């Protein structure tokens, strides 16, 4: 509670923009050694100096959330812009080589466009669209045109003779008219994978440190997600916590075009180090495991609502606030404002979604291992949540309300193991499946290889005084 109050005060005193600015200025100096992709693998040293520390950042642990939200918002806009720029750029460069130019015209897909709209703007008609869709080869990409993409038409006296649709930076669909109609082919450019290593120590917020180490916000978010079952990133982060991460990036013509996945990561929180190794199982699913092969995540989330306050604990001999009689409180109450999303704490099947006496609107989920969870007093259910439907861990199943016997908006959450009720806050949560026995040996070899890489890169960083290393695979 003290933590929450303090955060509220901070938020009032420092507007969000100010907090963000303060956080971003807290960097003292960032020196990055980048072995960037070049055919001869020449090492280049990049030195970037940020503004010096102006003042200590106020309690940013809680404010991190605001910063995260703001950054996400910004990066979503930037990503969209970047995607549009990419499409334009790719179209320009891909087409500059095509001769002769005078027959070619470019049309950019606008919001709400269908293929017919774009063709019409190019002076073509419905028959032309049909001819193109009847082309020999795969033209399914035309079903997914989106704003910002470009189509180039080669139109001569005889009509449309060729067409190019730039799908992405690495892919374009080319059509050419021959005697028997159009022939289509998708042309792809190969991305070059690079393994990168970054590390950082947290001074103000994870996102600021991630950025200083050269990680994008989405990569930092991914890092937080991997450790989310062990570390509460809203409340548990302390100055001096640190991370190490090996991840993949993809380059095209020497330029980074795509981020890949985190291959291994370490997070040290309040002196305790957690290690996660990514492993792709034989059935093609990728998961993160501890070096011992335990899953990084639990089969259940501890709490079905984010950032909520427990307003009433599990208590089998409680006086009921509405009925004023001794009546067991068989669950945990989370106070949250009406409409707050409620998440399924584990994968399962909806066995009940409807009205049930004092519970009001309630959802009951059946999970593996004889576990059931119950979510009461809901304001409403999420779409597609009805008896028989399947839900995944973390999926929103409904919204906080005060239906049934409730004094105010809150979620009443119950947890049953083989029919007997347990305290949701203290019950031992089952681990998600560990590495299968058949894959244990292969995983262990990978895990020790990744751990020694983490150590080697960390040593390189120490000797070079840098924050990030990139190595051609």
Site residues, Zn ion (CB under 5 A): 333, 412
User: Is the Cβ–Cβ distance between 135 and 183 less than 8 Å?
Assistant: yes
State how far the Cα of 73 lies from the Cα of 225, in Å rounded to an integer.
Answer: 18
Cβ closest to Zn ion, residue 122 vs residue 405: 405
In the bound state, the residue with its beta carbon closest to Zn ion is: 412
Cβ closest to Zn ion, residue 237 vs residue 308: 308
Cβ closest to Zn ion, residue 421 vs residue 458: 421
Cβ closest to Zn ion, residue 229 vs residue 314: 314
Rounded to the nearest whole angstrom, what is the least distance from the CB of residue 329 to Zn ion in the complex?
6
State how far the Cα of 421 lies from the Cα of 329, in Å rounded to an integer.
Answer: 10
Rounded to the nearest whole angstrom, what is the least distance from the CB of residue 412 to Zn ion in the complex?
3
Rounded to the nearest whole angstrom, what is the least distance from the CB of residue 334 to Zn ion in the complex?
9
Cβ closest to Zn ion, residue 6 vs residue 422: 422
Rounded to the nearest whole angstrom, what is the least distance from the CB of residue 302 to Zn ion in the complex?
17
Cβ closest to Zn ion, residue 183 vs residue 302: 302
Cβ closest to Zn ion, residue 137 vs residue 408: 408
Rounded to the nearest whole angstrom, what is the least distance from the CB of residue 328 to Zn ion in the complex?
10
Rounded to the nearest whole angstrom, what is the least distance from the CB of residue 400 to Zn ion in the complex?
12
Cβ closest to Zn ion, residue 199 vs residue 333: 333
- What residues are paired with 375 via a beta bridge? 363, 413
State how far the Cα of 175 lies from the Cα of 396, in Å rounded to an integer.
Answer: 44
Rounded to the nearest whole angstrom, what is the least distance from the CB of residue 394 to Zn ion in the complex?
22
Give the number of other CB atoms < 10 A from CB of residue 184: 20
Rounded to the nearest whole angstrom, what is the least distance from the CB of residue 414 to Zn ion in the complex?
8
Cβ closest to Zn ion, residue 256 vs residue 356: 356
Rounded to the nearest whole angstrom, what is the least distance from the CB of residue 366 to Zn ion in the complex?
21
Cβ closest to Zn ion, residue 120 vs residue 318: 318
């Amino acid at each position: 509670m003290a933590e929450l109050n303090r955060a509220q005060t901070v938020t009032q005193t420092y507007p969000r923009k100010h907090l963000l600015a303060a956080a971003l200025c807290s960097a003292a100096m960032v020196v990055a050694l980048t072995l960037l992709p070049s055919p001869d693998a020449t090492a280049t040293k990049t030195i970037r100096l940020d503004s010096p520390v102006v003042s200590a950042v106020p309690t940013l642990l809680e404010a991190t959330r605001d910063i995260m939200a703001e950054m996400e918002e910004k990066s979503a806009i930037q990503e969209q812009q970047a995607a549009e720029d990419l499409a334009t750029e790719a179209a320009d460069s891909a087409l500059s080589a095509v001769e002769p130019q005078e027959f070619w015209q470019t049309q950019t897909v606008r919001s709400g466009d269908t293929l017919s709209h774009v063709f019409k703007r190019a002076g073509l008609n419905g028959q032309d669209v049909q001819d193109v869709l009847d082309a020999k080869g795969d033209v399914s990409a035309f079903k997914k045109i989106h704003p910002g993409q470009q189509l180039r038409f080669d139109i001569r006296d005889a009509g449309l003779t060729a067409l190019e649709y730039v799908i992405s930076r690495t892919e374009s669909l080319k059509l050419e008219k021959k005697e028997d109609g159009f022939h289509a082919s998708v042309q792809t450019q190969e991305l070059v994978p690079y393994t990168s290593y970054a590390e950082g120590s947290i001074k103000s917020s994870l996102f600021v440190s991630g950025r200083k180490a050269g990680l994008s916000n989405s990569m930092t978010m991914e890092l937080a997600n991997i450790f989310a079952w062990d570390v509460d990133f809203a409340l548990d982060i302390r100055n001096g916590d640190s991370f190490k991460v090996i991840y993949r990036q993809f380059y095209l013509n020497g330029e980074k075009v795509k981020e890949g996945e985190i291959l291994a990561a370490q997070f040290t929180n309040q002196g305790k180090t957690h290690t996660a190794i990514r492993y792709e199982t034989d059935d093609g699913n990728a998961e993160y495991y501890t070096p011992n092969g335990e899953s990084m995540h639990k089969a259940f989330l501890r709490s079905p609502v984010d950032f909520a306050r427990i307003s009433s604990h599990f208590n089998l001999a409680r006086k009921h606030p509405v009925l004023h009689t001794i009546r067991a409180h068989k669950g945990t109450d989370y106070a949250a404002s009406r409409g707050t999303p409620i998440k399924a704490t584990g994968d399962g099947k909806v066995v009940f979604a409807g009205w049930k006496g004092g519970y009001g609107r309630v959802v009951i989920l059946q999970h593996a291992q004889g576990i059931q969870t119950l979510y009461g007093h809901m304001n409403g259910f999420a779409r597609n949540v009805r008896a028989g439907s399947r839900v995944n861990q973390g999926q929103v199943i409904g919204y906080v309300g005060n239906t049934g016997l409730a004094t105010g908006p809150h979620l009443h959450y119950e947890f049953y193991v083989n029919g007997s009720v347990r305290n949701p806050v203290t019950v031992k949560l089952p681990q998600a499946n560990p590495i299968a026995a058949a894959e244990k040996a292969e995983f262990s070899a990978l895990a020790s290889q990744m751990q020694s890489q983490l150590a080697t890169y960390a040593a390189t960083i120490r000797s070079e005084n840098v924050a990030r290393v990139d190595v051609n695979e």
